[in-house]
Amino acid sequence: MNTIRHLTILGSTGSIGESTLDVVHRHPDRFKILALTANTNVQKMLSQCSQFKPQFAVMLDSVSAQQLEESIKQAGLDTVVLSGVESLEKVASLSEVDIVMAAIVGAAGIRPTFAAAQTGKLVLLANKETLVMAGRIFMDAVKKHHAVLLPIDSEHNAIHQSLPYNFNGNLMEKGIRRILLTASGGPFRKTSQDSLRHVTPEQACAHPNWDMGRKISVDSATMMNKGLEVIEAHWLFNAPPENIQVVIHPQSVIHSMVEYVDGSVLAQLGNPDMRTPIAHAMGYPERIESGVASLNMFDVAHLDFEPPDFERFPCLRLAYHALEMGDNMPAVLNAANEVAVASFLDEKMPFTAIPTVIEYVMQNVKQQEIHTLNDVLSVDHIARETARNWLAALK
């Protein structure tokens, strides 16, 4: 008989959170929700609390927390409603929690994800920013506190599945030549450069293969999403930048590959559905049902590959550059990107200005070493202010 494992889902109302809850729903004998968290989506959180009856529900926004608390009382539920970053950290580190799904988008997810690692949880990492902004100190925390880290991004999960079971972070020792990180190329893979200036937020958010949130969809359209994943792969698998190759694969059937020195290339394939990597990580090392349909190879028919165009996608070039520079530069890159994408989604600047803002901020924030989480949060603040100043100059 399986022991029930207790979960906290950081970011339960987002696409990853909802997919995680779908997997939990399929395995009531394996998993129980202890805490759910969100930012402002009160109605969806209320619905999730009604179905899964968590002990805690945390809203980052205090006004939303008050609204949720009133609704929880009216519904006759016993869920305790909390608010703020400290409460996110609390539910990520509760002694009863076995697994933490870290799925908060953006820098807001860093502190609770650190809290989970520092209390030795099984951390299912879907929050890119934790590794992008604080890769070294986060990996040190995972090791020091004997936490277990499993990647949820479909690409990194595919790499994890394609590595040797006992992979210890040494590529050469395990006969690994390079990691091949696949990318769909987003909606503008073949759009003319001139047309990119007129891209609307709706067009940028219309991903051809994946159903994602608006910010991540824009990152996919600029290929910054893949750039952030290159930085993640560096920390997750101890891989130098030159051993991480981005491959454009429009069908999104091969989620990533690992090439070995004997010429073998191992790939993980599947339908583009995040429940596959979520179920893989939740059940690891066992395999559990995810609800994802079987891949029909005859429908796929063919698989295409092409190199990335760094002129069309300068954000990818900037991400590689930030990784090579090291220190605080990946955090600077991430902060500038978040401000730029938000401005584009608010229709305050064109799509093609996103890499311009990022490059400006990288050139104008001093490079320095990162030693603590406070260092990370400080440089994040400085980089955001620098980006906002650039945007203010546009007016």
Predicted pLDDT of residue 291: 97
* 294 exposure class (CB count in 10 Å sphere: 0-12, 13-18, 19+): exposed
Predicted pLDDT of residue 93: 98
Residues 6+ apart with CB under 8 A from 187: 203, 204, 206, 207, 208, 220, 221
Predicted pLDDT of residue 328: 97
What is d(CA 350, CA 334) in angstroms, rounded to the nearest whole number? 19
pTM metric for this prediction? 0.92
Predicted pLDDT of residue 394: 78
Predicted pLDDT of residue 104: 92
**Residues of the chain under the 50 pLDDT cut:** none
At 211-250, the pLDDT tens digits run 667 888 899 999 999 999 999 999 999 999 999 999 999 9
Predicted pLDDT of residue 376: 94
Predicted pLDDT of residue 192: 82
In terms of Cα–Cα distance, which of 228, 16, 165, 201 is closest to 104?
16
Predicted pLDDT of residue 285: 93
Predicted pLDDT of residue 85: 95
Give the pair of three-digit tokens for residue 56: 């805690």
Predicted pLDDT of residue 211: 61
Q: What is the SS3 assignment for the chain?
A: CCCCEEEEEECCCCHHHHHHHHHHHHCCCCEEEEEEEECCCHHHHHHHHHHHCCCEEEECCHHHHHHHHHHHHHHCCCCEEEECHHHHHHHHCCCCCCEEEECCCCHHHHHHHHHHHHCCCEEEECCHHHHHHHHHHHHHHHHHCCCEEEECCHHHHHHHHHCCCCCCCCCCCCCEEEEEEEECCCCCCCCCHHHHCCCCHHHHCCCCCCCCCHHHHHHHHHCHHHHHHHHHHHHHHCCCHHHEEEEECCCCCEEEEEEECCCCEEEEECCCCCHHHHHHHHHCCCCCCCCCCCCCHHHHCCCCCECCCCCCCHHHHHHHHHHHHCCCHHHHHHHHHHHHHHHHHCCCCCHHHHHHHHHHHHHHCCCCCCCCHHHHHHHHHHHHHHHHHHHHCCC
* Top CATH class, 326-395: mainly alpha
What is d(CA 169, CA 235) in angstroms, rounded to the nearest whole number? 9
Residues 6+ apart with CB under 8 A from 107: 129, 133, 334, 335, 338, 377, 380
Q: Which amino acid is at 351?
A: F
All structural domains of the chain with their residue ranges? 5-151, 154-272+303-311, 326-395
In terms of Cα–Cα distance, which of 189, 111, 103, 217 is closest to 153?
103
Q: Helix axis angle, 314-325 relative to 224-237, nearest 10°?
A: 30
Q: What do you get for the CA distance between the two ends of the chain, in Å?
A: 64
Predicted pLDDT of residue 105: 82
Predicted pLDDT of residue 393: 87
Residue 174 CA from chain centroid, whole number = 27
* Top CATH class, 5-151: alpha beta
What is d(CA 126, CA 104) in angstroms, rounded to the nearest whole number? 8
At 346-388, the pLDDT tens digits run 999 999 999 999 999 999 999 999 999 999 999 999 999 999 9
Predicted pLDDT of residue 107: 78
How many residues make up the chain in this entry?
A: 395
